[in-house]
Structure 1
């Protein structure tokens, strides 16, 4: 590898490790925010099962484009191309990846049996950086998009009196 490729690989790894959320675009072109873990040279994600994040457009062995955001500012840090590699339950790779994912999964209703549920009902994918042209140039224009519909919403309507309460707090 050339020096530039090594620097690009280091940038991809460090930025992705520090970010708790990545934006992934699969075969259909739809971008989706996914929580992940950086493990052994790739971003590892779990989903496509009940109660987990959906990523239906990530095809096993197919291409993906990953955009990494800044953890503190939320803006785009780096983009890179990846290959979605499925991990088969029960393999040593799967066990190691799930061990890392389990520690990062928040608010799981079944923390003790979560790996067994993932093996039965979910997919675990490694988003492996493609060698060569890893770092993508920043796209032009505004990248803002409305959130995709999901059953995973937890936000209710703002209570009617909340703005008044917050306004009082600022004045005192």
Structure 2
């Protein structure tokens, strides 16, 4: 878990989402909200299921996580938010401005702490857990290319 940068997080009743995370203090920290990654229901959840992948790209461990939200303005926020902000890739500005924006915009910084037994090795499902793509307005039908004249082959 200490090398994780992406985790698949599933809240009860929702699909697993690939989320950027940061390991710290034996837990994973995830930021979500306006201007950041979307994690519907994570900030309000009490528990979630976390799956991590190995260097080979396949899953290596799945565990149940206790979800706790870190509130802006607390000592915990003042300690953890700058650490998470410093590791964020392609940050739009300095870490202090980023953390201030998170607090002002209502972004959720959540801790995913292991709660229960981890499933790994031969205990993991052998089959694929891939789901069909979810509907999105970004998909459009591709048209055949328009040709004004016939193209000669040589």
Q: TM-score, normalised by structure 1?
A: 0.69
Aligned to 2:93: 110
* 3-state SS, counterpart of residue 38 of structure 1: strand
Aligned to 1:79: 62
Which has a greater percent of helix?
1
* 136-145 or 80-89: bigger deviation: 136-145
Aligned to 2:124: 138
Task: Give yes or no for contact 2:43–2:110 (8 Å, CA) kept in 1.
Answer: no
Task: Give yes or no for contact 2:46–2:66 (8 Å, CA) kept in 1.
Answer: yes
* 3-state SS, counterpart of residue 17 of structure 1: coil
> Highest Rg: 1 or 2?
2
Structure 1 residues 36-74: Cα deviation after superposition (integer angstroms, max 9, x where no partner): 111122101101222x1111121535110000111x321
Structure 1 Cα separation of the partners of residues 102 and 91 of structure 2: 12
Per-residue deviation at 1:93? 1.3
1:125 counterpart = 2:104: no
Aligned to 2:141: none
Aligned to 1:45: 30
Aligned to 2:150: none
Structure 1 Cα separation of the partners of residues 101 and 64 of structure 2: 30
Structure 1 Cα separation of the partners of residues 135 and 37 of structure 2: 12
Structure 1 Cα separation of the partners of residues 44 and 3 of structure 2: 26
Structure 2 Cα separation of the partners of residues 25 and 76 of structure 1: 14
1:65 counterpart = 2:49: yes
Structure 1 Cα separation of the partners of residues 134 and 90 of structure 2: 22
Alignment of 1:154-169 (within 5 A): none
Per-residue deviation at 1:150? 7.6
Aligned-pair Cα RMSD in Å: 2.3
Q: TM-score, normalised by structure 2?
A: 0.76
Q: 1:143 to 1:109 in 2, by over 3 A?
A: same
Task: Give yes or no for contact 1:49–1:123 (8 Å, CA) kept in 2.
Answer: no
